[in-house]
Structure 1
Amino acid sequence: MLLLLLILDRLWKHVAVVYFFGRPRPRLTRPPALVSILQPILSGDPTLAACLAANLQARSCLAREFIWLLDDTDTAGQAICQSLQARFPGQTVRLLLLPRPAQGQNPKIVKLIQGLAAARGEVVCVLDDDTMLPDDGLEQCLPFLDQPGVGLVFGLPYQVHFDNLWSRLIAIFVNSNSLLTYIPYTTLSAPFTINGMFYALRRPLLEALGGFDGLETWLADDFAVAQRVVASGHRLVQTPLRHAISIHVTDARHYLGLMQRWFIFPRESLLRHLRPRQVAILCGVALVPAVAPLLAVAWLFAQPTALNLGLVLAYFLLCLLSFAHLNGCYLFTATPWRHLWLVIVLQLIFPLQLLVALLSPQRIRWRGHVIQVERGGGFRFVRRREE
């Protein structure tokens, strides 16, 4: 029964993704005079310069201003940004140097508060420094802001950095889960959180909601912003915009630390603050199916019948075919075909990684910072990175 449910779950999710991308898309009826793109930046990833440059080079018919928000002590980041300003003189790029946030204040939110105060655009976008918008990405996303009751729109991430084994594992994790996690649950519920790598709001609404002020103590800043928008009676909308991300993972410790951070965030934010129905949807769509493949293999060893073997093989073949189709049709073949086998590897080791993350101390490492995550989504710096 478990194996049949796994197969049906995968088929349902695949159909949901295909249907999502096949729906008619609205057109941009109210083009903003200016779009302000706020980018909190912290050096440390070797692909940072390439990511920032890609956004400056991305084609758009809309007027844009990039507001780059850096710590005044981040000399490496400042050098990268100043070099890009000189390289792309035709782009409007403003560099704001800010003091380090106080203990217990989210560096990204503190930067966004200052960035919003400096922004001049009618639409405000938040864009992570490891995220790259495609050509006409704003034109794909912003029309959804014109729909009745919509307060915030966001996109879908996929990873493009495959330079070493650990980066490949992260890339496969992202690319094999992004579409199948973010999209299907929206058929059961209105979105109750967002992917914080890129999102957009109209500035008058954002300012009416208090901007980003008051969210400084939340570690999961994307969830905090989403909840503020939902609490105001506005909708979150998942758009078909797909944006690339680039994360260079140096070694096994970095890989495990990154996965731990991604698991701890939803546990201490979503699972402790959502309503029971929303928690049930999250677990039913994301967590239970993610753990089930390893249980299915364990069941096969316990009950090694021909039928069970056939069902297990059918399930993993379905997963490979499903991913190959989504990768080719909707993720621009971001994952090289030669790495396809890693999809099965990730499915089998994911439950073990989840268990390790749940049992490990709630400390995360992020570009040199060591952060203690508190129950309910707060945090404190254990050690800050040395610039």
Structure 2
Amino acid sequence: MINASEVFHTVGFAAVSLACGYSLLALLAVCLGPKKRPRDIASPNAPPVTVLKPLCGAEAELERCLRSFCDQDYSEFQIVFGIQDGDDPALAVARRVRDAYPGHDIEIVVDTRQWGTNRKVSNLINMMTAARHDRLVLADSDILVGRDYLARVTAPLADPGVGLATCLYRGWAGPGLWSRLGALFIDDWFMPSVLISHRLGNDEFVSGATIAVRRETLDAIGGFGAVADRVADDHALGECVRGLGLQVAVCDYVVSTWVYNSGPATLVDQETRWMRTIHSLQPLSYDLLFVTLALPLIAISLVLDWRQAPVLALIGLTVIARAALHGVQNVRAGRRSWHNLAGLPLREALTAYSWLLGLAVRRVRWRGRRYWIADDGSLKHVAPRD
């Protein structure tokens, strides 16, 4: 006859063991970073580069981010700012940046044409008419970089076997609790999971924070039009490039992404879209992401088996590992190790909530528009309700 207390003990111990094992693995992956490639060093005679910056809306730090792409230690580069609406406030910011750097090669493309449901990709297609160079770097509008950025992220393209280069990113929180929680999602949950996957041999990670690619490679996959209806256009580009038999390189360079959420609704909208995107790409792996949710697993173990010393020891080790991971990420970002430590319990609870929404929700909101994410990762526009 099955003893109920033994079942509770087994389930509680298993829950905290999963939480502890994953937390230690995440800490190790963050400490090790991405797998090292042969050192990619940009040649002093490196080919010229066109930087593509699709814009939509004027975030508080947009001008600072755009200026960081102008302040590069690189011999020759062009910057193309793309906007799909002449009334977009980002246009005024782009013009200010262009006027502040009269010696730079900066183009502004305003083009309303729509080539697919993914408006960012449509913007990129329109921008390509102004791109003059054969090496291309595309980066989201909310990315802040250092002066060595272009040299570092384009260096892997010197290897003919590399078709695309990308890089990791960290959260750069705007004012307010919800912005800090959004940055914690990136630093303490998403990036560690990416690094674990990378260490285990999965080379599927590609981030819109930075994509460097040769024009000939882009042409060979059919241009940006090949991913014009995909919600995860960055991941889809990586798939297409690997389909050519070329590698995707993850640079040992980390950019910062501006995170601003005015309240819980915007935070949940953003993270639901991310979670549903992950679900559409890897449904089985997504179901297994519950092992990353330390707080719920600890809560289960405490309810079922809180009197057992091994369970309490594993809970303590899990808490230490999560706090250490948080500290390492802070130090690497130039912050104090304990910065925003008190936000971790709420962040864990929100991540669990977002994960559950990712299982159930197909409709998402992106840049003020509503979309339906299909099982194959395609993006369908949902007309606004009357």
> TM-score with structure 1 length normalisation?
0.87
Q: How does 1:290-305 map to 2 (within 5 A)?
A: 290-305=292-307
How does 1:196-235 map onto structure 2 within 5 Å? 196-235=208-247
Q: Does 1:260 align with 2:272?
A: yes
The Cα shift of 1:212 comes to 1.3
- The Cα of 1:169 is off from its aligned counterpart by 0.5
1:275 match: none
1:46 aligns to 2:63 (yes or no): no
Q: Distance in 1 between matches of 2:106 and 2:200?
A: 41
SS at match of 1:8: helix
Q: 1:145 to 1:258 in 2, by over 3 A?
A: same
2:101 is the alignment partner of 1:88? yes
- Correspondences of 1:105-254 after superposition (within 5 Å): 105-147=117-159, 149-254=161-266
How far did 1:14 drift?
A: 2.8
Where does residue 276 of structure 1 map in the other structure? none
Deviates more, 1:290-299 or 1:88-97: 290-299
Shift of 1:29: 4.1
Spell out structure 1 runs of 4+ moving beyond 4 A.
21-24
The one of 266, 275, 282 aligned to 1:271: 282
Residues 1:47 and 1:364: Cα distance change in structure 2 (over 3 Å): farther
Task: Give 1:45 deviation, angstroms.
Answer: 2.8
Distance 1:87 1:27, change over 3 A: closer
Instruction: Tell me: CA distance 1:20–1:255, structure 2 relative to 1, closer, same or farther (3 Å).
Output: closer
| Distance verdict in 2 for CA 1:375–1:161, change over 3 Å | same
Matching residue's letter, 2:208: G
| d(CA) in 2 for partners of 1:364, 1:292 | 26
SS at structure 1 position matched to 2:302 = helix
What letter is aligned with 1:6? A
Q: Which of residues 314, 317, 320 is equivalent to 2:317? A: 314
Q: CA deviation at 1:50?
A: 2.8
CA deviation digits over 1:304-338, x for unaligned, max 9?
1233223212211221012202321x3333x7733
Q: Say if 1:177 and 1:144 are closer, same or farther in 2 by CA, change over 3 A.
A: farther
Which AA in structure 2 matches 1:204?
E
Amino acid at match of 1:38: L
User: How many pairs are equivalent?
Assistant: 369
Cα distance, 1:162 vs. partner? 3.4
Shift of 1:289: 2.6
Q: How has the CA–CA distance of structure 1 residues 235 and 76 changed in structure 2, closer, same or farther, with 3 Å as cutoff?
A: same
Decide which structure has the larger Cα Rg and report it: 2
* SS of residue paired to 2:166: strand
**What residue number does 2:3 align with?**
none
Could you list the runs of 5+ residues in structure 1 that have no partner in the other structure? 273-278
Helix, strand or coil at the partner of 1:217: coil
Output the aligned Cα RMSD.
2.4
The counterpart of 1:74, out of the listed 73, 87, 110, is 87
* CA distance in 2 between partners of 1:189 and 1:324 (Å): 26
Q: So what's the TM-score if we normalise by structure 2?
A: 0.87
SS for the counterpart of 2:25 is: helix
SS of the residue aligned with 1:214? helix
Alignment of 1:282-297 (within 5 A): 287-297=289-299
Matched, 1:16 2:29: yes
Q: Matches of 1:318 and 1:170 in 2, distance apart? A: 21
Identity of aligned residues (%): 22
1:255 positional shift: 0.9
Aligned partner of residue 170 in structure 2, secondary structure: strand
* Structure 1 counterpart of 2:5: none
Please list the CA deviations of residues 269-328 of structure 1 after superposition, one character each: whole Å capped at 9, or x if unmatched.
x126xxxxxx55x766xx133235412221112111233223212211221012202321
Q: Does structure 2 conserve the Cα–Cα contact (< 8 Å) formed by 1:51 and 1:132?
A: yes
